[in-house]
Amino acid sequence: MIGATKPNSDDAANYAHVAAHRKKNYGESLPVRLTPQVMIHYGSYGSRVMAAGGPQPHKFGAGEHDALKENANFLTHVQFSDLRRDVISAAVQKGRCAYCNQHDAGQVDHYLPKSKFGEYSIYSENLVPICSICNLKKLNRYKCEKGERLFLHPYFDRLPSGSVPFVKATLTFAKSVIIKFELVQIPGIGNDIWKILRNQFEALGLPARYTLDATREMQSMKDAFYVYYSRGGDTLVDYIQVQLGTKSNAFGPNHWLPVMLKAIAESKEFCSGGFKKLGPPTPI
């Protein structure tokens, strides 16, 4: 759930390159013949994706859709690695997945799935950096049953970029410290974006994934919590606040780590000894 900058790519040249390669090496002339149609689609990609209800798959003739879908294999496996590399390395902010803001982005997602939208299978605005976990969860989905988009488009949809987070964590103290993540519709998030943001949060299983990482992180910080707490006063709060500032600068305010640090820094119960429910300090 972070914006990303689309790769600077000559899409017409890329398509021509792949189509010519397929004709020369495999005798397939269909991709070349489809060039005018595909170029028309390229020109309207952004407006079609962002239209209310999102795009519908184009009705191509027999074999045409499959031929265009097949281009994606050249992007992935054959000789077309530059665009793929640009999408992964240059387009994403800070190298993280544009969908979860959690893991490194090592793969390329087709925002509009190549199985349904073959015409965009090598179009740079449709290629988004993604982590392997999100890729497995997203699969070939793009709309929910209600017809709403399931995922924000990292190149077109914009979320508020200020310091007020729209991801929030809440702590409860039972046998251990339990942390749960939710979304908050802060000013700047319109109702349309809000619906998609919530769809994406659920479709990718982000609450549980964030809880898992945050719980592990709190465990790893447990010994430090004991040390700073033993010094009395606000020492523990100050320590967490410093960590919060550092991580917020590094990852942005909506990454699970600064969101977790904000929640524990603001929890009087946690900072006045509730952290001990994470377990005793590690014996030296």
Q: Tell me: does residue 131 bind Zn ion (CB under 5 A).
A: yes
CB contact set of 68 (below 8 Å; sequence gap of 6+): 31, 34, 38, 60, 118, 119, 121
Q: Residue 120 or residue 151: which is nearer to Zn ion going by CB? A: 151
Residue 5: Cβ within 10 Å count: 12
Locus of tokens 């991580």: 247
Q: How many residues bind to Zn ion according to rule CB under 5 A?
A: 5
Assess contact for 143 and 111: CB atoms under 8 A: no
Stretch that binds Zn ion, among 66-74, 124-132, 145-153, 190-198 (CB under 5 A): 124-132
Smallest gap from residue 12 Cβ to Zn ion (A):
30
CB of 245 to Zn ion, least distance (A): 25
Is residue 134 a contact point for Zn ion (CB under 5 A)? Answer: yes
Residue 84 makes CB contacts below 8 A (sequence gap 6+) with: 75, 76, 108, 127
For the bound state, the minimum distance from the C-beta of residue 6 to Zn ion, rounded and expressed in Å, comes to: 18
Q: Which stretch binds Zn ion (CB under 5 A): 74-82, 85-93, 126-134, 268-276?
A: 126-134
Minimum CB separation from Zn ion for residue 161, in Å? 19
**Closer by beta carbon to Zn ion, 15 or else 99:** 99
Is 98 among the residues that bind Zn ion (CB under 5 A)? Answer: no
129 bridge partner residues: 108
Is 97 an interacting residue with respect to Zn ion (CB under 5 A)? yes
Q: How far is CA 54 from the centre of its chain?
A: 19
Half-sphere exposure of 148 (CA within 13 A, CB side): 15
- Identify residues 233-272 at the interface with Zn ion (CB under 5 A): none
Q: How far apart are CA 188 and CA 65, in angstroms?
A: 39
Candidates 15, 45, 99, 201; binder of Zn ion (CB under 5 A) is 99
The nearest distance, CB 204 to Zn ion, in angstroms, is 7
Segment lying near Zn ion (by CB under 5 A), choices 37-45, 89-97, 110-118, 121-129: 89-97
Beta bridge partners of residue 171, listed in sequence order: 179
C-alpha to C-alpha distance for 14 and 67, rounded to whole angstroms: 16
Residue 206 interacting with Zn ion (CB under 5 A): no
Of positions 1, 2, 100, 264, contacts Zn ion by CB under 5 A: 100
Of the candidates 173, 177, 170, 186, the one whose C-alpha atom is nearest the C-alpha of residue 266 is 170
List of residues contacting Zn ion (CB under 5 A): 97, 99-100, 131, 134
